Amino acid sequence: MLDSISTFVARILPYGSASFSAVAALAKSVFFILLFTMPLAGILTWMERRQSAMMQDRVGPNRANIGRFTLWGIPHFVADALKMIFKEDFVPPQANKFLFALAPMLSVAPVLIASAIIPFGAPLCYGHMSETVALGTCVAPIELQAARLDAGLLFYFAIASLAVYGAALAGWASHNKWALMGGMRASSQMMSYEVTMGMAVMAMFLVYGTLEPGAMVNAQGDWPWQWGIVGIPQVIAFVLFLAAAIAESKRTPFDIPEGESEIVGYFVEYSGMRFGMFYLGEFVEVITSSALIVTVFFGGWRFPGAGALAASLPNALFVLASVLVWSLKVFLFCAFQLLIRWSLPRFRADQLLRLGWQRLLPISIANVVLAAGWILLRR
């Protein structure tokens, strides 16, 4: 049946044509953003409250329901979204209206765009979807990756760093001194930790010899000891990258820009769904950084026994399995980030910058040298 569909599609969109690649890229983006990132970000808003409650010996949100089905309270995120949509959308009278409206979009959109380079499944062998195709033997597969760029992770850093404008503009456009100061804290923090983030991945660039995430996944094996994390410089790079990624998403222990209850943050003047976009953007960043960690350090979609499974299952089913495994890995790292967020106390602003510039950055630079030596020794 799959092949009959693909022959029908082939009549309208011949494989390899420009229109085919455009439609394929669109389909991949739609899958990644509408079917994975956005629902998971919504669920994470509920999961954060529920998981933190369980960690603190409470029950958490478990009452929202659809009729008799409470589903452990998962509908809470739908209820929250409905609440935010119907709340008053207040704009301060002296605010810059255009920038005030632009800031929440700028805090979500760059992260979503940057996630285009993340491979989320095994390559799909188009035209042989109901046959078994051994790994790496397909001639011209469809890579499950919205954009395959040679610049790779550099594109990610270039686009994701635009999110700092979201925070800074929100602080500035609100016409509120405290929001402005929150925006300043956010921009100083995000800029400091971007450097560490880039330097941490630099070591991984040396190890893989490529910047392209798809090629990084191909360089890793199916079994956990063949993944990117194995090795001394790689483990150091992982810890540095994780710390910097949490700082980038402005969550505890690095949440001085907003500081939910104690410090007035850059989105203090925002209400309704505009606030909801900042809130959602935070979780989208959690998902994207988790996806990046999975891609670079934990084998992407690869899982133990993938090679054997590819040789015994139809290609379409195997790709589906690989997408599910990848989703599960990303989900586990999201849960791990929530665990960190609810375990550690907040840094003070000066401690945070000292940690970034005086501890993490020198370590990450030294780690690049270490990685170079490591590669030389292992050759």
Partner 1 sequence: MGTTVKTVERPAGIRRKTYLIAILEGLWVTFRHLMKNWIGNTLGRRAKTDIATLSYPEQKKVYPERNRGLHRLMKRDDGEVRCVACMMCPTVCPAHCITIVPEEAPDGSIEKRPRIFEIDELRCVVCGLCVEACPCDAIRMDTGVHAWPTIRRADAILDKEALLSRGDASTATQGGVGPFWREKVKS
Binding stretches for partner 1 (CB under 8 A): 51, 54-59, 72, 239, 339-340, 342-344
Task: Compare residues 35 and 55 and give the one whose CB is closer to partner 1.
Answer: 55
- d(Cα 334, Cα 289) in Å, to the nearest integer? 9
Task: Compare residues 57 and 350 and give the one whose CB is closer to partner 1.
Answer: 57
Residues of 335-374 as b/e, b for ≥16 C-beta within 10 angstroms?
eebbeebbeeebbebeebbebbeeebbebbbebbebbeeb
State in angstroms the smallest separation of the CB of 58 from partner 1: 5
State in angstroms the smallest separation of the CB of 59 from partner 1: 4
- d(Cα 256, Cα 372) in Å, to the nearest integer? 35
Task: Compare residues 27 and 339 and give the one whose CB is closer to partner 1.
Answer: 339
State in angstroms the smallest separation of the CB of 8 from partner 1: 45
> Which H helix or E strand runs over 220?
none
State in angstroms the smallest separation of the CB of 326 from partner 1: 23
User: Could you tell me if 255 and 285 are in contact, meaning their C-beta atoms sit under 8 angstroms apart?
Assistant: no
Task: Compare residues 178 and 342 and give the one whose CB is closer to partner 1.
Answer: 342
Task: Compare residues 50 and 329 and give the one whose CB is closer to partner 1.
Answer: 50
Task: Compare residues 66 and 339 and give the one whose CB is closer to partner 1.
Answer: 339
State in angstroms the smallest separation of the CB of 56 from partner 1: 7
Residue 39 CA neighbour count, 13 Å, CB half: 10
State in angstroms the smallest separation of the CB of 71 from partner 1: 12
How many Cβ atoms sit within 10 Å of the Cβ of residue 301? 23
Q: Which residues pair with 124 in a beta bridge?
A: 142
Region for residue 272 given its phi and psi (left: phi exceeds 0; alpha: psi -120 to 50; beta: otherwise): left
Task: Compare residues 113 and 236 and give the one whose CB is closer to partner 1.
Answer: 236
Using omega within 30 degrees of 0 as the cis cutoff, is the peptide bond preceding 253 cis? yes
The DSSP call for residue 69 is B
Burial class, 2, CB count within 10 angstroms (exposed 0-12 / middle 13-18 / buried 19+): middle
State in angstroms the smallest separation of the CB of 373 from partner 1: 22
- d(Cα 34, Cα 326) in Å, to the nearest integer? 16
Task: Compare residues 58 and 177 and give the one whose CB is closer to partner 1.
Answer: 58
Question: Which residue has tokens 């590819």?
Answer: 310
Q: List C-alpha distances in Å: 64 to 79, 162, 253, 276.
A: 7, 36, 30, 19
Burial class, 107, CB count within 10 angstroms (exposed 0-12 / middle 13-18 / buried 19+): buried
Token duo for residue 319: 């790709």
Task: Compare residues 48 and 269 and give the one whose CB is closer to partner 1.
Answer: 48
State in angstroms the smallest separation of the CB of 54 from partner 1: 4
User: Could you tell me if 46 and 283 are in contact, meaning their C-beta atoms sit under 8 angstroms apart?
Assistant: no
State in angstroms the smallest separation of the CB of 73 from partner 1: 11
In 3D, which of 46, 31, 148, 167 has the Cα closest to residue 99?
167
